[in-house]
Structure 1
Amino acid sequence: MSFAYDTEVALVSAAALINTAAEVPDGLSTLADLDAFLAAQQFSGSRTHTQAELDDVRRLRTELEAIWHAPEDEAVEGVNRILRAAHALPQLVRHDHWDWHLHATGPEAPLADRMATEAAMALADVIRGHELERLRTCAAEDCAAVVLDLSRNRSKRFCDTGNCANRTHVKAYRARRAAG
């Protein structure tokens, strides 16, 4: 199944947000980290640039990770909780370099609410499409990062945070060489 481009962008951004927790040190420790993350994800709209805003985004990260790993019924509850809390009202918008896409909050809404709503709307599409198996954890033994599998054949096993695939394949090759 292919998702709308705004759904894919929101899912990739949600996975990147979740994976900041696995970075050492934490990828969202400071306001500068949040600024860098938002720039990399091309997230627009109002900002307060406060510690409270950073704390809200860090709480959202925890919420999204729980949804990422949840069975369908719990994922639905989590998505609905986020949408209710943000008073989501979906609308078609076009801004910056993006063509028509859905926003469920205005650009003046708090950053964490806008991020939460975009992720929740994208996760709602995943749930409605019965595609929760595309939300995974990295197959590398030493990695707990999340993986978003957008491949046609559902074959993506490793995260994009490091060299997990390469490390795992090299380890397996060396084991085969040692055994042979």
Structure 2
Amino acid sequence: MVFAYDTEVSLVEAAMLVNTVDSDGVDALADPAGLQVWLAQHPFTGVILGNADEVAEVRAVRTQLRRLWQVADRDAAVPIINDLLAAADARPFLTRHDEWDWHLHVTPPDAPLAQRMAAEAAMAFLELVRADDWGRLKTCAADDCHDVLVDLSKNRSKRYCDDGNCGNRAAVAAYRARKRAR
């Protein structure tokens, strides 16, 4: 299934948000400065307060989003997605801005950042449910990594997270094992 570009972006951003806590428990969103760094790489339109309360709200959304990678199937995901949409008071509308052509926003630009993030992610997950493509949500195959990923490849073969290190380490380990076996 080919998803709309904004759906793919929202899915990947949700994964990147979940991955702001690393395998050692270090939280990249520990303070407003960390949130600003993350938002510089994953921009959201609208009001951004940049205070401790906003960070706490975004971290709460992150926890809800992680649950979506932990559920067994789309049927179990639906209540979580519906809760995210309801809590965000989602009201879809079409808009275009910056380099984006017409696309869907589901909250007004003055809604709290955490609500906007939750609603955008929920709408993207909704598309996975509708397409019966829940299997695209995966956890990194590396033994020492708990990052999540969205497999948007044609053949659904992606196994490692987007940081690049896990896949590289696995490839090097496999190469060295092959060399030792010779």
State the TM-score, normalized to the length of structure 2: 0.95
Query: How far 1:35 sits from its partner (Å)?
Result: 0.8
1:179 maps to what in 2?
181
1:11 maps to what in 2?
11
SS at match of 1:29: coil
- Structure 1 gaps, min length 5: none
User: How far apart, CA to CA, are the structure 2 residues paired with 1:59 and 1:23?
Assistant: 18
Distance 1:110 1:23, change over 3 A: farther
**4+ residue runs of structure 1 moved beyond 4 angstroms?**
none
Q: How does 1:12-91 map to 2 (within 5 A)?
A: 12-22=12-22, 25-70=26-71, 71-91=73-93
- Structure 2 gaps, min length 5: none
SS at match of 2:50: coil
Seq. identity, %: 53
Q: How does 1:102-141 map to 2 (within 5 A)?
A: 102-141=104-143
2:2 maps to what in 1?
2
Give, as a single letter, the amino acid of the residue that structure 1 aligns with 2:13.
S
SS at match of 1:20: coil
Which string of whole-angstrom CA distances, capped at 9 and with x for unpartnered residues, describes residues 129-170 of structure 1?
011101100111111111111111111111112411110111
Give, as a single letter, the amino acid of the residue that structure 2 aligns with 1:53.
E
State the TM-score, normalized to the length of structure 1: 0.96
SS at match of 1:43: coil
User: How far apart, CA to CA, are the structure 1 residues paired with 2:38 and 2:49?
Assistant: 15
1:156 to 149, 155, 158: 158
Let me know the Cα RMSD of the aligned residues. Answer: 1.2
Q: Is the 8 A contact 2:23 2:145 kept in 1?
A: no
Distance 1:3 1:105, change over 3 A: same
Number of aligned pairs?
Answer: 180
Q: Is the 8 A contact 1:145 1:161 kept in 2?
A: no
Query: How far 1:11 sits from its partner (Å)?
Result: 0.6
* The 10-residue stretch of structure 1 (11-20 or 161-170) with the greater mean CA deviation from structure 2: 161-170
User: How far apart, CA to CA, are the structure 2 residues paired with 1:16 and 1:141?
Assistant: 19
